[in-house]
Amino acid sequence: MIRNDFKKLNIKKLDNLYNEDKNKIIIAGPCSIESEELLLDIAEFVKKNGATVLRGGAYKPRTSNRDFQGLKSEGLQILDRVRKKVGIRVVTEAVDTESMPEVAEVSDIIQIGSRNMQNFTLLREAGKYGKPVILKRGMAATIYEWIRAAEYIYESGNSDIIMCERGIRTFNDYTRNTMDIAAIPIIKKETGLTVIADPSHGTGIRDLVIPMSCASLAAGADGIMVEVHKNPEEALSDKEQTIDFRDFQELMRKI
């Protein structure tokens, strides 16, 4: 049951993150930063085709400790060089308070991942840098819990919060998660915050990224975040949900 006592947050519109013609925030890039050459290729391609922000994980919160954990500090240095070379804003995830200063120095937007949505120490810390924060919905978080988590960031003095619907756990086992499309207009109505959707993690299936991006935007999302790779089959993480360059062009045409 939703407790209807949310406050409208006093937000600034994050104008500089929007795509000029479509007025949407388009965040695209690989799940993980793998090498400078590859990230540069991806960054140039997505920028040319309408992305406003490059994504790429350096610190990766992986379900299995045996999987690729990201290039960490080295990944952040690559991201910094690519950001400057290409001239594009970047977002990367902070997984703990120790790496937060390093992340905040390089990243134009700080990402808090699903697994950390209720890491309140991390949320408070993320709000201290004066940079926009993407708060991904916890995979089993209610609307109430998600909004309350956002208020931890807000309380640190940061109102530039972007709420990202990335799918939740349900009995449906066909997709990796179930996208809660209704959450998009609910969050906008209850908080006034900017809302984006991540159909890559939301579905876990490459072929669903375009239709679910369209569905999210139709429901009023201010933007999307999608995983794009030059050779998705060779991606070191989340290859099943990663689209290639042609699909990204198709996505941009469709939206």
Which residues of this chain interact with ligand PEP, rule CB under 6 A? 31, 57, 61, 93, 113-115, 136, 166, 198, 201
Least Å distance, CB 89 to ligand PEP, is: 16
User: Residue 114 binds which entry of ligand PEP, Mn ion, none, with Cβ cut-offs from 5 to 8 Å by kind?
Assistant: ligand PEP
Least Å distance, CB 136 to ligand PEP, is: 4
Least Å distance, CB 235 to Mn ion, is: 9
C-beta nearest to ligand PEP: residue = 113
| C-beta atoms surrounding 179 within 10 Å | 24
Q: Which is nearer to ligand PEP, 81 or 115 (CB)?
A: 115
Distance CA(106)–CA(102), nearest Å, equals: 7
Q: Which DSSP state fits 138?
A: P
Q: How many CA atoms lie within 13 A of 250 on its CB side?
A: 12
Q: Which is nearer to Mn ion, 222 or 238 (CB)?
A: 238
Question: Which range, of 26-34, 109-117, 153-161, 172-180, touches Mn ion by CB under 5 A?
Answer: 26-34
Q: Which DSSP state fits 16?
A: G
| C-beta atoms surrounding 228 within 10 Å | 28
Which residues from 180-239 bind Mn ion, rule CB under 5 A?
238
Residue 196 backbone dihedrals phi, psi, to 5 degrees = -125, 170
| CB distance 229 to 235 below 8 Å | yes
| CB distance 118 to 145 below 8 Å | yes
Q: How many CA atoms lie within 13 A of 203 on its CB side?
A: 23
Q: Please tell me the count of residues contacting Mn ion according to CB under 5 A.
A: 2
Q: Which is nearer to ligand PEP, 93 or 160 (CB)?
A: 93
Q: Which is nearer to ligand PEP, 179 or 186 (CB)?
A: 179
Tokens 């709420």 — which residue? 163
SS3 186: helix
Residue choice 31, 78, 187, 226 for contact with Mn ion (CB under 5 A):
31
Least Å distance, CB 198 to ligand PEP, is: 6
Least Å distance, CB 35 to Mn ion, is: 17
CA dist list (Å): 117 to 136, 152, 212: 7, 10, 23
Q: Which is nearer to Mn ion, 31 or 184 (CB)?
A: 31
Q: What is the dihedral of CA 237, 240, 245, 246, to 10 degrees?
A: 180
Least Å distance, CB 60 to Mn ion, is: 8
User: Residue 223 binds which entry of Mn ion, ligand PEP, none, with Cβ cut-offs from 5 to 8 Å by kind?
Assistant: none
Residues that bind Mn ion (CB under 5 A): 31, 238
